[in-house]
């Protein structure tokens, strides 16, 4: 008899992508369900998954709203208990975020085994809260910031999770920037005003020196403005949003500037696309900077601090990257070295063996 597994996901792309990857790994051997909120549904092809929506409120710092939050979380916890019992859930996998709160509390009450997933290099607050009551936590490294030393035995190391189609792409580690820069710009699931505006002058400066094509990921609300800008300046371009298939654009790129979400950095590193990371300063506990530093320490990328950015600094950074061919190829070599053992079957067997044992 198959075990029933519930994956609790949040409302951002950073939560949804690993949740769907875990779902794909487990769906053939377990009965798998997925929960998210209304924000997360935007990034899901709901017909592919058994999805339940739980709209957990973000805990407000406003003392007048806070009691209402707790009342709603209380009722969502009751709803979660009913859902877990109805689906006869054996294992809950939480990818973190405040959205996981009612489901993890319900799982604890019902003695459902809880597993956590932390793709970032800083332990998330929700994961830290539930760490003691969890069985194990999946991480990409033992060196997670804010991780209690006495609970490090709970870590299960796992290779960075990638969508299955990424493994079918052949990486070309010898590719350099020669005749044309195919420049990928990734603002993340929330978009990035920095990349939609501040970067414009830098792009114009680069286009005067090099043959350039832009693949720009942004919110659809920005499409007309950006399209007009690129066309006006005779810059070849292709725009896409977070829901589009990013693989098509990554595999046709040879340089990237990006935020530092865990999934994005894993994908770029695996496909050997050198990137300049601009971590989001407002990311909780500065986890994007920690993510970027994880790869920089392995000499797989470059980092620039958003607070120090202006058009001159961006232009200088990107020009140096383009002109320093040796460093560019070294980054690609280090990326390949880091990722060479990462395979779909290896991760698949590890996940299945762990959940079949428990």
- Domains of the chain plus CATH, in order, are 4-159+343-357 (3.40.50.2000), 167-339 (3.40.50.2000)
Q: Is 336 exposed, middle or buried (0-12, 13-18, 19+ CB in 10 A)?
A: middle
Q: Provide the pLDDT confidence category of residue 129 given band limits of 50, 70 and 90.
A: very high
- Averaged over 44-52, what is the pLDDT? 87
Q: What is the pTM of this model?
A: 0.91
Element (H, E) at 92: strand 91-94
pLDDT of residue 62: 60
For position 14, what pLDDT does the model report?
Answer: 81
Report DSSP letters for 219-253, one per residue: -GGGHHHHHHHHHHTT-EEEEE-TTS-HHHHHTT-
Q: pLDDT averaged over the chain?
A: 89
DSSP label at residue 154: G
Mean pLDDT of 2-29: 92
- For residue 61, count other CB atoms closer than 10 A to its CB: 7
In the predicted model, what is the mean pLDDT of residues 52-69? 71
Give dist(CA 101, CA 81) in Å, integer.
Answer: 12
Given this model, what pLDDT does residue 282 score? 85
Percent share of the chain, pLDDT over 90? 63
Question: How far is Cα of residue 326 from the mean position of the Cα atoms in its chain?
Answer: 29
Report the pLDDT averaged over residues 212-228: 89
- The pairing of strands 255-258 and 181-186 is parallel
Between 173 and 223, whose confidence is greater?
Answer: 223
Q: In the predicted model, is pLDDT for residue 242 greater than 90?
A: no
pLDDT in tens, 69-121: 778 888 889 999 999 999 999 999 999 888 888 999 999 999 999 999 999 99
pLDDT in tens, 244-285: 678 888 888 999 999 999 999 999 999 999 999 999 888 888
Q: Decide: helix, strand or coil at residue 122.
A: strand
Q: Of the candidates 131, 138, 84, which has an alpha carbon nearest to the alpha carbon of residue 111?
A: 84
- The percent helix, strand, coil of the chain (3-state, each to 5) is 50, 15, 35
More confident residue, 80 or 12: 80
CA distances from residue 243 to 15, 56, 145, 211, 239 in whole angstroms, order as listed: 14, 23, 30, 28, 12
Query: Hey, which of 22-36, 207-221, 305-319 has the most confident mean pLDDT?
Result: 22-36
Percent of the chain with pLDDT over 70: 92
Q: Is the pLDDT of residue 68 over 80?
A: no
Give the pLDDT confidence score for residue 40 in this predicted structure.
Answer: 78
């Amino acid at each position: 008899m198959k075990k029933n597994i519930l994956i609790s996901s949040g409302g951002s792309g950073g939560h949804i992508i690993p949740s769907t990857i875990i779902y794909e790994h487990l769906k053939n051997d377990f009965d798998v369900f997925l929960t998210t909120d209304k924000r997360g549904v935007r990034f899901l092809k709901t017909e592919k998954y058994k999805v339940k929506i739980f709209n957990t409120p973000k805990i407000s710092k406003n003392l007048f709203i806070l009691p209402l939050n707790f009342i709603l979380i209380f009722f969502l916890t009751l709803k979660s208990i009913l859902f877990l019992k109805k689906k006869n859930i054996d294992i809950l996998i939480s990818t973190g975020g405040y959205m996981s709160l009612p489901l993890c509390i319900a799982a604890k009450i019902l003695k459902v085994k809880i597993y956590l997933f932390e793709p970032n290099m800083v332990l998330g607050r929700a994961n830290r809260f539930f760490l003691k009551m969890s069985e194990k936590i999946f991480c990409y490294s033992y060196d997670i910031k804010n991780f209690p030393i006495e609970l490090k035995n709970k870590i299960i190391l796992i290779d960075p999770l990638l969508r299955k189609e990424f493994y079918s792409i052949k990486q070309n580690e010898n590719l350099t920037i020669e005749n044309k820069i195919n420049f990928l710009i990734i603002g993340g699931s929330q978009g990035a005003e920095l990349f939609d505006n501040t970067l414009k002058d830098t792009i114009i400066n680069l286009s005067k020196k090099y043959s350039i094509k832009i693949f720009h990921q942004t919110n659809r609300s920005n499409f007309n403005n950006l399209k007009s800008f690129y066309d006006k300046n005779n810059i070849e371009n292709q725009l896409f949003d977070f829901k589009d298939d990013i693989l098509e654009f990554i595999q046709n790129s040879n340089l990237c500037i990006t935020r530092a979400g865990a999934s994005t950095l894993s994908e770029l590193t695996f496909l050997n696309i050198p990137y300049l990371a601009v971590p989001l300063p407002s990311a909780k506990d500065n986890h994007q900077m920690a993510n970027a530093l994880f790869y920089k320490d392995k000499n797989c990328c470059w980092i620039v601090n958003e607070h120090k950015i202006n058009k001159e600094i961006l232009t200088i950074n990107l020009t140096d990257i383009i002109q320093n061919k040796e460093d560019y190829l070294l980054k690609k070599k280090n990326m390949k070295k880091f990722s060479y053992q990462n395979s779909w079957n290896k991760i698949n067997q590890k996940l299945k063996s762990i959940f079949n044992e428990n």
